[in-house]
């Protein structure tokens, strides 16, 4: 059994007390705020609010704690002497030490604790998956181009990425009138479809055989099975009893069993137990182990994006799920199940902003191949438990006739016909990159390279930002308002790179561009379509990382990424997966847990081991009730 340490609640009480006590409030007000006012607020909170950072809005330690990610950036730019600008007054060594000590005490040496207990609304994708899993079929409608699309996906508003970066983080977009109206429509349609002749077999999976009219036995079985699955708990005996009592009352008043049952089913589909995820005991306060039912939900929505299945529900009902060996056994089972493809595709699609590929103006077959390639690749990494670093450096990929030309013909075993027609949408096949050394991993996939390229030109800055934010997990501030970069005119003496360097040469720009540009220019070995081109005349992929490591081309940069940036990349993948699993923004108290997991992943990190560490973590198996 995963046990909660007896002293944990007291430890968190002490941390919370420290953060809100007069002592720390005085320290922030007496030392940190004057420090910020002296060196920062003129550009970040006075008449100007550069990079969307406004220190004037942070009134106390509680506000500082909510913006925990900010303070490490402040320390870094000051220690590196990037800020304040060199023509402004600089902090003394004593002032920097004071700030560093405060930051370390408040945000580095913080104790771990689980996240705050909360019920969250199902995202649109989770709702669609859950409704399909519950009914046994998916409601469809004809969309544009006569394509069949999911009715729920078409009707419901799409969820924007939450503060975590993922759409399952619905804490900032709770239920509203629009959602309610759409849910009501979908509930009515779902129940009517279920009772239609076309889905008689699906209905009888709930009700048992229907001989003539809907019987009392049919009603009892239907509601019992439907509620247990929809409410994500076999222990929903009270709800089942109340539902049956309402139907019995209406039946006695002369209404038909079928109509009364349909009314109950519609109510179930509109209930918080179905539309929300999360359970906790509000009577108890402080840190506590989650219930077996909630753990089943957390596992299922993390790895499948849908309702827990019968095996998870039975283990939860028997109170056998909160056991390390059982959890790991279930994780292995769930990752082998085809439903885990929902997890791999949703996670990587949102993590890497892959839907941008769908905006490319090209033929359908090529666009589909460019989009599906990273989805197939990442699913393979997870399903076959590959090392985390294969995200950057792998000897395997997926391709089809639409994108074979990006790879050596010896690897594709394909010879294009002389009169080639567009092959349309084709399945992708797995292949080994034995003869295509300039590919491998996500960074060199043509669709990803093409996402952030201009019209017939590459854009090293956009490519560098994408790598820095997605692969390194380094959040960048909003760029200042500067004119767009113009391609040098024909006959101009400045090279393409010199134009970029001139454009980003100011000290305020260099803070970010010293990180961005080496990554972006390292990818200049790939044109705006993602095709490989060797370094040479007009193609300069050389550079130097902020650490001072030189490289001549992307191959050299990739070696540096794998050898000297493994910790950074491993930590970034851990953070992203953790945020997706928890479906919420990362908080300061998550840092010790994430750091511990990432340290393990550095030495022996595979995707299965990462997932196992996350689901066994304090954050996943515990919760905190305020």
Same domain, 84 and 138: no
Which residue in the block uniquely carries the two structure tokens 């854009």?
A: 459
Q: Whole-angstrom distance between the N-terminal and C-terminal Cα of the chain?
A: 24
Give residue 76's pLDDT.
74
Same domain, 90 and 138: no
pLDDT surpasses 90 at 115: no
Q: What is the mean pLDDT of the chain?
A: 85
pLDDT surpasses 90 at 584: yes
Give residue 15's pLDDT.
38
* CA distances to 5, 267, 387, 449, 585 from 52, in Å: 41, 45, 37, 28, 19
Strands (E), 266-313: 276-277, 286-289
Q: What pairing do the DSSP bridges indicate for beta strands 276-277 and 286-289? A: unpaired
Mean pLDDT of 66-87: 72
pLDDT surpasses 80 at 128: yes
Among the three residues 534, 564, 594, which one is the final residue of a domain in this structure?
A: 564
Q: Decide if 608 is inside a domain.
A: no
pLDDT digits (tens, 9 = 90+) for 368-398: 999 999 999 999 999 999 999 999 999 999 9
Q: Decide if 572 is inside a domain.
A: no
The answer to whether the CB of 430 falls within 8 A of the CB of 379 is no
Among the three residues 564, 587, 611, which one is the final residue of a domain in this structure?
A: 564
Handedness of CA 406, 409, 415, 419 (dihedral sign): positive
Q: Decide if 524 is inside a domain.
A: yes
471 vs 571: CA distance, rounded Å:
10
The C-alpha angle 463, 464, 467, rounded to 5 degrees, equals 90
Provide the CA 203 distance to its chain's centre, in angstroms: 35
Give residue 513's pLDDT.
60
Most confident of 10-19, 37-46, 363-372: 363-372
The answer to whether the CB of 615 falls within 8 A of the CB of 580 is no
Strands (E), 415-530: 429-432
Q: Decide if 516 is inside a domain.
A: yes
pLDDT digits (tens, 9 = 90+) for 555-581: 999 999 999 999 999 999 999 999 999
Same domain, 180 and 131: yes
Give the pLDDT band of residue 334 (cuts 50, 70, 90): very high
Q: Decide if 158 is inside a domain.
A: yes
Q: Helices H, strands E: what count in the chain?
A: 29, 10
Dig out the tokens for 380 from the structure: 């393979």
Same domain, 166 and 226: yes
Give the pLDDT band of residue 17 (cuts 50, 70, 90): very low
pTM, entire model = 0.86
The answer to whether the CB of 569 falls within 8 A of the CB of 605 is no
Same domain, 104 and 127: no
Give residue 261's pLDDT.
96
The answer to whether the CB of 530 falls within 8 A of the CB of 446 is yes
Task: Work out the number of other CB atoms within 10 angstroms of the CB of residue 142.
Answer: 10
pLDDT surpasses 80 at 141: yes
Which residue in the block uniquely carries the two structure tokens 């799920």?
A: 321
Same domain, 156 and 88: no
Residue 565 is classified by DSSP as: S
The answer to whether the CB of 133 falls within 8 A of the CB of 312 is no
Give residue 21's pLDDT.
39
Among the three residues 254, 277, 300, which one is the final residue of a domain in this structure?
A: 277
Same domain, 59 and 159: no
- Tell me the percentage of the chain whose pLDDT exceeds 90: 58
The answer to whether the CB of 468 falls within 8 A of the CB of 561 is no
Give residue 26's pLDDT.
62
Same domain, 456 and 518: yes
Give residue 39's pLDDT.
74
Same domain, 152 and 80: no
- The count of domains in the chain is 3
- Tell me the percentage of the chain whose pLDDT exceeds 70: 85
Q: Decide if 140 is inside a domain.
A: yes
Handedness of CA 163, 164, 168, 171 (dihedral sign): negative
Give the pLDDT band of residue 320 (cuts 50, 70, 90): very high
pLDDT surpasses 90 at 34: no
Same domain, 415 and 470: yes
C-alpha torsion angle, residues 316, 321, 326, 329 (rounded to 10): 50
Categorise residue 417: left if φ over 0, alpha if ψ from -120 to 50, beta otherwise: beta
pLDDT digits (tens, 9 = 90+) for 185-240: 999 999 999 999 999 999 999 999 999 889 999 999 999 999 999 999 988 889 99
102 vs 71: CA distance, rounded Å:
10
Mean pLDDT of 65-76: 73
Q: Decide if 232 is inside a domain.
A: yes
pLDDT surpasses 50 at 424: yes
Mean pLDDT of 16-44: 64
Same domain, 421 and 557: yes
Give residue 340's pLDDT.
98
pLDDT digits (tens, 9 = 90+) for 496-545: 566 666 555 555 555 566 677 788 888 999 999 999 999 988 899 998 87
Give residue 7's pLDDT.
36
pLDDT surpasses 50 at 19: no
Count of residues for the chain?
626
Give residue 491's pLDDT.
57
* CA distances to 138, 190, 205, 307 from 199, in Å: 11, 11, 10, 21
Same domain, 136 and 64: no
More confident residue, 491 or 292: 292
Domain hosting residue 77, numbered range = 8-108
Mean pLDDT of 615-620: 96
Q: Decide if 354 is inside a domain.
A: no
The answer to whether the CB of 335 falls within 8 A of the CB of 383 is yes
Instruction: Look at 63-77, 123-137, 204-218, 534-548 and tell me which has the smallest mean pLDDT.
Output: 63-77
More confident residue, 7 or 226: 226
């Amino acid at each position: 059994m995963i046990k909660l340490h007896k002293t944990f609640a007291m430890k968190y009480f002490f941390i919370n007390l420290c953060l809100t006590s007069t002592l720390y409030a005085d320290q922030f007000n007496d030392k940190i705020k004057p420090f910020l006012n002296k060196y920062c607020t003129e550009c970040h909170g006075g008449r100007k609010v550069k990079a969307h950072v406004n220190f004037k809005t942070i009134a106390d330690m509680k506000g500082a704690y909510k913006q925990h990610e900010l303070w490490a950036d402040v320390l870094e730019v000051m220690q590196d002497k990037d800020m304040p600008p060199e023509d402004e007054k600089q902090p003394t060594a004593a002032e920097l030490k004071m700030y560093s000590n405060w930051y370390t005490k408040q945000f580095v040496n913080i104790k771990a604790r689980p996240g705050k207990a909360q019920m969250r609304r199902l995202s649109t994708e989770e709702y669609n998956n859950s409704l399909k899993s519950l009914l046994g079929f998916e409601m469809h409608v004809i969309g544009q181009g006569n394509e069949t699309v999911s009715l729920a996906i078409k009707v419901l508003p799409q969820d924007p990425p939450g503060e975590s970066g993922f759409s399952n983080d619905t804490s900032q977009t709770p239920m509203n009138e629009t959602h309610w109206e759409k849910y009501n429509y979908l509930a009515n349609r779902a129940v009517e479809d279920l009772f239609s002749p076309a889905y008689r077999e699906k209905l009888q999976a709930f009700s048992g055989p229907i001989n003539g009219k809907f019987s009392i036995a049919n009603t009892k079985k239907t509601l019992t099975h439907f509620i247990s699955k929809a409410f994500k708990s076999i222990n929903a005996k009270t709800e089942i009893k109340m539902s049956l009592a309402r139907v019995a009352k209406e039946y006695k008043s002369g209404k038909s069993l079928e109509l009364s049952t349909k009314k109950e089913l519609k109510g179930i589909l509109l209930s918080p137990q179905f539309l929300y995820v999360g359970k906790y005991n509000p009577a108890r306060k402080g840190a506590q182990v989650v219930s077996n039912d909630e753990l089943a939900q957390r596992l299922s929505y993390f790895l499948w994006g849908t309702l827990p299945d019968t095996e998870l529900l039975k283990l939860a009902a028997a109170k056998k799920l909160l056991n390390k060996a059982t959890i790991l056994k279930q994780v292995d089972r769930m990752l082998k199940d085809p439903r885990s493809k929902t997890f791999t595709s949703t996670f990587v699609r949102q993590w890497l902003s892959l839907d941008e590929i769908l905006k490319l103006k090209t033929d359908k077959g090529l666009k589909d191949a460019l989009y599906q390639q990273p989805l197939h690749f990442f699913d393979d990494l997870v399903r076959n438990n590959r090392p985390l670093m294969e995200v950057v450096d792998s000897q395997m990929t997926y391709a089809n006739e639409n994108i074979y030309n990006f790879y050596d013909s010896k690897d594709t075993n394909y010879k294009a016909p002389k009169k080639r027609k567009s092959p349309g949408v084709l399945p992708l096949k797995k292949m080994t990159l034995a003869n295509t050394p300039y590919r491998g991993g996500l960074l060199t996939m043509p669709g990803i390279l093409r996402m952030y390229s201009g019209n017939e030109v590459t854009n090293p800055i956009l490519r560098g930002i994408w790598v820095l934010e997605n692969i390194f997990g380094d959040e960048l501030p909003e760029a200042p308002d500067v004119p767009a970069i113009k391609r040098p005119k024909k006959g101009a003496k400045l090279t393409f790179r010199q134009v970029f360097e001139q454009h980003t040469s100011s000290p305020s720009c260099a803070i970010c561009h010293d990180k961005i540009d080496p990554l972006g220019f390292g990818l200049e070995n790939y044109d705006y379509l993602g095709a490989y081109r060797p370094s040479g005349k007009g193609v300069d992929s050389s550079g130097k990382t902020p650490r001072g490591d030189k490289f001549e081309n992307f191959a050299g940069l990739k070696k540096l990424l794998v050898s000297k940036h493994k910790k950074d990349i491993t930590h970034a993948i851990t953070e992203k997966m953790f945020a997706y699993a928890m479906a919420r923004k990362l908080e300061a108290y998550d840092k010790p847990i994430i750091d511990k997991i990432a340290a393990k992943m550095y030495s022996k990190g595979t995707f299965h081991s990462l997932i196992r560490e996350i689901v066994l973590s304090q954050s996943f198996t515990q919760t905190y009730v305020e």
